[in-house]
Homo-oligomer: A and B are copies of this chain.
Amino acid sequence: MTKVWTVYLSGEIHSDWRERIAAGVQEAGLPVELVAPITMHEDSDDCGVAVFGPEENKFWHDRKGAQLNAMRTKTLLSGSDLAVIRFGEKYKQWNAAFDAGYAAAMGIPYITLHPAEHDHALKEVDGAANGVAREPEQVVQALAYIIRGDMPK
């Protein structure tokens, strides 16, 4: 199979989970292209006003940034084969849940990645998922199986 699988990595931007998935994918030599939102926190907050001009009101400052970021995220998510939706231990990460709902409606299968303590609060998001992982390495294992049928060692 010559297919390169595009996998969208949505959610938490404060830990190294994307790097761990990237490292695992590379080590395993999987034909995967990882895509993601811009993960530089300050830039993703301020990009809108930096590009389209300043706003006095923080609400519209945020709006401009959110809509600029959405041009990236919507396009990349819509074009992905699979998605990973990550919820970290802190922060609300409502945008991750938004992406999960968006993916579900578009028929894009996703894996959630979160600690067990969020299980109850995330039961609807997990209920529409095709897998629930605790560690990024499990996502790599899932990709290795999905793409090549490799079982975890």
Contacts and interface: CB of A to CB of B under 8 A. Distances in A.
Contacts of A103: 101
A143 to B, nearest CB: 9
A68 B145 CA distance: 8
Main secondary structure of the interface of A (DSSP, over half): helix
Interface string A93-129: 1111111111111110101000000111111111111
A60 B57 contact: yes
A106 to B, nearest CB: 5
Contact of A99 (B58, B96, B101): B101
Number of copies: 8
Contacts of A94: 87, 93-94, 96-97, 121-122, 124-125
B70 A124 contact: yes
A98 B92 CA distance: 13
Interface residues of A, number: 87
Contact of A98 (B65, B69, B97, B111): B97
B2 A33 contact: yes
Nearest to A145: B47
Interface string A28-62: 00000101001010010011101111011111101
Contacts of A119: 58-59, 62
A130 interface: yes
Nearest to A91: B121
A70 to B, nearest CB: 6
